Chains A and B, each alone.
Chain A
Amino acid sequence: MTTQSRTADSPPRLEVSGLTVTFGGLTAVDDVSFTVGDGETVALIGPNGAGKTTVFNAVCGLVRARRGQVRVDGAPAPSSATGLLGAGVSRTLQGLGLFDRLTVLENVLVPLTGTSPRRPRRRTPGGSRARALGLDTARETLAALGLGDLAAVPAGTLPYPERKRVALARALVTRPRLLLLDEPAGGLGPADIDRLAGTVRDVSGAGCSVLLVEHHVDFVTDVADRVVVLDFGHVIAAGTPDEVRRDPAVEEAYLGVPAGTGASEETA
């Protein structure tokens, strides 16, 4: 059920195979497999309750898989926060999860303070305090997202779109190789969504792989190289945004019209 056959020998950045997650008697995710290659952007879509967030949480070790595997660069994905950061995996948090009382700059510095081998070296010869704190990296990241002028402002005082960008900056500051975005376009207006799409393209252009959970169809079509459609915990379709849009199984899942043939077992 792997959705892309890769020609390269190197393992994909993210490989989810046979992932099954249950909550009590409910199978929220059932035998889901897909990959995200280097610099590729994959969107996970599907109706409400399809299991998207659960897949996402299993990838970051927040829920335990009953069966199946999650591999990052060929190795089993670490489940601890520091382990994931160390493996170059970064995510935005549900409900933003900003520190309202810390400044924008401090918010973005927090992930650099943990012990991760990927953070800027602490004791570079002649390394300044600024270097030790990762200040340069943090300021660069803020500038890249147009937040440079807001560095000293408490995050809690910003309007929602800016807060959302701070959350994105905080995920990007560790220079991840795999970025997990939980509904990044949620609650944003068209202008901010365009800007977000630009950022996602920049990030993936720089070689970072992106897995995003998103409801906003235009945004997904805009940024995703491939789309994986979930329904009732199964992968019911996968392919480019256009292929997926033409897939009758997808239409059925979204419109809830039984199209005569079997239910959602069918895969692309």
Chain B
Amino acid sequence: MERLVFLLSTGLARGAVLALFALSLVIVYRAARVVNFAQAALAVVPVYVAFAITSATGSYWLGLAAALATGALLGTVVERRLMRLVPQDNPLAGIIVAIGLVMVLQAGLAIAFGPDHRPVHAPFPQRPLEVGGVGLMSPYDLFVLVVAAVVMGGLALLFNRTSLGLQLRAAAFAPETSRLLGVRVPRMVTLGWTLSIATAALAALLLVPTGLGLDPHAADVLFVNAFAAAVVGGLDSPAGALVAGLSVGVLVALVTGYASAAAAPPAVLALLTVVLLVRPQGLFAAREARTA
């Protein structure tokens, strides 16, 4: 029982990071109708920047701000200078360009920083807090949960309560109609990438202290699990990304805790398969696809 409570609470914190990363995939999918296979590599670059800033200044918070800024900048530049030039008529083209980008970024990072793990310190203790003798999540896990909740809440407000958010959603649902109504659709696509990569960078930054440390592949497993979560959630649904991200996080924690870490990936795959068999469009997908 104590073990279950501990695994559930840690799973929730891991799940919050997964949900955040899955949300970043949903944002870019909505904006540009691409599954961005370069998301992990793009998310890790800002974490290296954060690592460098934190090492130089001693401030975790400056590093966090730098990660967000670098992620936003990277997302913007990649859309403007690369993805925008990819022909839209063949969906494979975008995927191939993304995979090429992964190779370039990961090789570049390995050349610049070396291929080794770099230990990254968390800004808060990582030993579980005990409540009534039962080990719960650590202060750092709590921090992760709070940050993820604040960022997701902020994004929800941005998308649902502001004029800019309305334009982002309109452009995502029906780009041609939006253009005729005066919405600057290309700008909205860029902004989708900006928000998406900044969010992904934050998720990767939150993840790294809980793993082996920082290396060019540090976000690869996060991407795989978050991608599964995003698909389970419906790929197009922020709420789906949240619920599925938390669920996958808890699933991974339980399987790792009761069986072994090696059993976690097949468990996620099994969940994905079952959901796709029962509801191929994902749990939270809207009924109809995008219109003109």
Contact = CB atoms under 8 A, between A and B. Distances in A.
Interface of A: 81-82, 85, 91, 93, 97-102, 106, 109-116, 129, 132-133, 156, 170
A114 B180 CA distance: 10
A81 B180 contact: yes
A111 B167 CA distance: 9
A262 B170 CA distance: 51
The interface residues of chain B, by DSSP majority, are classed as: helix
B288 A170 contact: no
Given A81-B179, A113-B183, A114-B183, A101 B163 contact: no
A191 B166 CA distance: 33
Contact of B181 (A100, A101, A170): A170
B286 interface: yes
B3 interface: no
**Nearest 10 interchain pairs by C-beta:** A114-B182, A97-B177, A111-B181, A82-B182, A113-B163, A81-B182, A113-B167, A110-B170, A85-B182, A110-B181
Given A110-B183, A111-B182, A114-B181, A99 B167 contact: no
26 contacts: A81-B179, A82-B182, A85-B182, A93-B177, A93-B180, A97-B174, A99-B170, A99-B173, A99-B174, A99-B177, A100-B288, A101-B288, A106-B170, A110-B166, A110-B167, A111-B181, A114-B181, A114-B182, A114-B183, A115-B182, A116-B182, A129-B161, A132-B163, A133-B162, A133-B163, A156-B288
B222 to A, nearest CB: 29
A208 B231 CA distance: 49
Dominant SS among interface residues on chain A: helix
B178 A110 contact: yes
Contacts of A115: 182, 184
B14 interface: no
B131 interface: no
Interface of B: 161-164, 166-167, 169-170, 173-174, 177-184, 286, 288, 291-292
Contacts of A113: 163-164, 166-167, 170, 182-183
Given A106-B166, A109-B166, A113-B163, A101 B182 contact: no
Contacts of B161: 129
Nearest to B179: A81
A99 B169 CA distance: 10
Contacts of A97: 174, 177, 180, 291-292
A99 B182 CA distance: 14
B6 to A, nearest CB: 40
A156 B178 CA distance: 16
Nearest to B290: A101
Nearest to A106: B166
A156 B291 CA distance: 11
A133 B164 CA distance: 9
A60 B180 CA distance: 10
Given A102-B170, A113-B183, A133-B162, 14 more contacts: A81-B182, A93-B180, A97-B177, A97-B291, A99-B169, A99-B170, A99-B177, A101-B169, A106-B169, A110-B181, A110-B183, A111-B182, A114-B182, A115-B182
A56 B176 CA distance: 18
A11 B237 CA distance: 51
B177 A101 contact: no
Contacts of B183: 110, 113-114
| Most A-side CB within 10 Å, residue of B164, B167, B181 | B181
A150 B213 CA distance: 53
Contacts of B286: 101
Nearest to A105: B166
Contacts of A99: 169-170, 173-174, 177, 291
Contacts of B163: 109, 112-113, 132-133
Contacts of A109: 163, 166
